[in-house]
Structure formats: C-alpha cells, structure tokens
C-alpha cells in the first residue's frame, strides 16, 4: 500500500488573510485556525487553535509596513516550531525592507539581511516570496528560497491587451534586467529612463533613452511607493510622443499621495498584483491575483516537484 503524503496546513497573519483565503480555495483546503491576542500596550500573542504536530505549516504574511506584520510572522514561526510542526514555510508575497540590500553609503544598516537573519533565528525552514527588490537577497538566507515572478500573471494580461507597436520600458536603470526579460519575451524594443534623485522618494530629473514616438509603452517595475518615479516616467513618455503608457508593478505599496498622482498622471492603466492589500479609489488601477501561482507553488513544494517549470520568464 502506497504511503500517503504528510498533511499540510495553511495559516494567515492578520493583514494577509485576504490572499490566504484565495490560496486555500485554490488548494481546496480550509484556512487554519489561529488566534492573535492584542494587549493594551501594543504587544500581541500568537497561538494556533488546532494541532499542527508533524505537519508542514505554511504561514502566509507579507511584511509591508508597519513592523507589526513582520513581528507577527516571527511569532507565528516561533509558535509553529514550539508546537512540533514538521516544517515551517513562510509564504511572503511581499518581502518588505528589501530596498536596504547593500551599503550604498557609510554607516547604514542592511535591513534585508537583518530580516533574513530574524526569520532564520525564529526557526523558518523555507521561504516562498515574489519579485524581490533585488535577486541577490535570496543569498541572504541560509534556508531554501522559492522566488516567484509576477510575470506569470502579467504576461497573459499584456497578451490580452493585444497592443500594437509595443515597447517595454523601465522607469530607472536599476530595473533594466527585469524589463529586458519582458522585451525579449515579446520581441519588442527596450526603452530606459535615467533618473537622478534629490533624496529618497524625490526625483530631481529624468531622461528617456530610446524611441517611444507613436508607441504603446508598458513600464515594468517591482513596486510603487509614492508613485513619483512611475508617473513622472509616464508623463515624460507621452511628452515624447507615446500613444499610451501602462505600468506593471508587483507590489502596490502606494503611500500617500501615490493614488492621487496615478489618477492625475497620463498613465492609461496601473496594474498590480494583490501581494499587498490595496483598497483606495483609483480608477486607473487593475489588480491581478497571484493566489493561484502561490497555491501551485505550495502544492509543488509539498509534492517535491519543480518550481521553475511554472516560470514564463
């Protein structure tokens, strides 16, 4: 008689329950029961309300601001380890603190490395995440990292638009590799924007490198925070003769006044995944779900199948 696979259970942090519910529907399982009790001083306590002894435990929680989401994930991992889970896998659709991935000036922290160390210290056995700000962050972990790509949902959506005279663009040189992958896939030209920052979240000057005259432009980025860069790039493309400008970004951080900037910009459409909950009123925003992508990955991890075979680029 063939031995059955060990069971797995999925649990969610407070702010990521919306996507965990979708993931569980795709997997055909019930979301696990967990309680998070808050104290008057802001502390909170995490407890699993069902046995997880001997189980693979998948903990869904993005670490977007504020820091409570990260602390909640760390406590979830610690509680799972102490409850004798067979393995603890952190599912982090959006890995926060990733912009601090190197020493770009003296006397600064490398927050991405610190967060990776905190997750390891808490007892995580594996990490599933999506569109890290920099690919090298995977090397900060001492446990396996399954790095998913939003292109798995973006590419079918771009195809559905049936855009003629399309070009792929990036709002800054740092995203050139990501945008180049899209350009190669669609066999279209790549356009770059060179920006100079006055300070963090403030763009002083931007220049377009490439031809966008009478083109339908698709800007590619990994995240949008205040939307200053992406909207400035879109407006500049239109000034240079672009017929339309759309933007794709995996993570909708959208700190104020980002929504107003997108609404007032010359962007035709702003397309995000639901890695972060975005509920503000933006008529130009389209949200694509990555729940199926994550559910398929959980299923493949559980059954020891290839993860990379589901990548488009």
Distance of CA 207 to the CA centre of its chain: 27
Cross-strand partners of 170 = 192
User: Exposed (0-12), middle (13-18) or buried (19+): which is 266, by Cβ within 10 Å?
Assistant: middle
User: Exposed (0-12), middle (13-18) or buried (19+): which is 217, by Cβ within 10 Å?
Assistant: buried
**Residues designated catalytic:** 195
Secondary structure letter of residue 31 according to DSSP:
B
SS3 assignment, position 244: strand
> Would residue 276 be called left, alpha or beta, if left means φ above 0 and alpha means ψ between -120 and 50 degrees?
beta
Q: How many H helices and E strands in the chain? A: 8, 14
User: Exposed (0-12), middle (13-18) or buried (19+): which is 237, by Cβ within 10 Å?
Assistant: buried
């Amino acid at each position: 008689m063939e031995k059955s696979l060990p069971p797995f259970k999925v649990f969610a942090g407070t702010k990521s329950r919306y996507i965990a519910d979708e993931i569980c529907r795709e997997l055909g399982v019930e979301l696990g029961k967990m309680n998070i009790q808050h104290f008057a001083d802001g502390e909170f306590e995490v407890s699993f309300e069902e046995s997880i002894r001997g189980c693979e435990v998948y903990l869904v929680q993005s670490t977007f601001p504020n820091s409570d989401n990260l602390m909640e994930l760390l406590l979830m991992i610690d509680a799972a380890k102490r409850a004798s889970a067979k393995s603890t896998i952190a599912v982090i659709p959006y890995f926060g603190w990733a912009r601090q991935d190197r020493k770009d000036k003296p006397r600064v922290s490398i927050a991405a490395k610190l967060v990776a160390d905190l997750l390891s210290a808490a007892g995580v056995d594996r990490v599933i995440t999506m569109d890290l700000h920099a690919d090298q962050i995977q090397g900060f972990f001492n446990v396996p990292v399954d790095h998913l790509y939003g292109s798995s949902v973006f590419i079918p959506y771009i195809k559905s638009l049936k855009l003629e005279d399309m070009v792929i663009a990036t709002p800054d040189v740092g995203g050139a590799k990501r945008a180049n992958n899209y350009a190669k896939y669609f066999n279209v030209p790549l356009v770059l924007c060179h920006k100079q920052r006055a300070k963090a979240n403030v763009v002083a000057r931007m220049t377009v490198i490439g031809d966008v005259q009478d083109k339908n432009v698709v800007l590619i980025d990994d995240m949008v925070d205040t939307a200053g860069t992406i909207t400035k790039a879109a407006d500049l493309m239109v000034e240079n003769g672009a017929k339309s400008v759309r933007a794709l970004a995996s993570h909708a951080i959208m700190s104020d006044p980002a929504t107003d900037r997108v609404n007032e910009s010359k962007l035709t459409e702003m397309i995000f995944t639901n890695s972060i909950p975005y509920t503000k009123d933006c008529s130009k925003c389209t949200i694509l779900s990555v729940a199926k992508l994550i559910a398929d990955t959980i299923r493949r991890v559980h059954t020891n199948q290839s993860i990379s075979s589901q990548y488009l680029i």
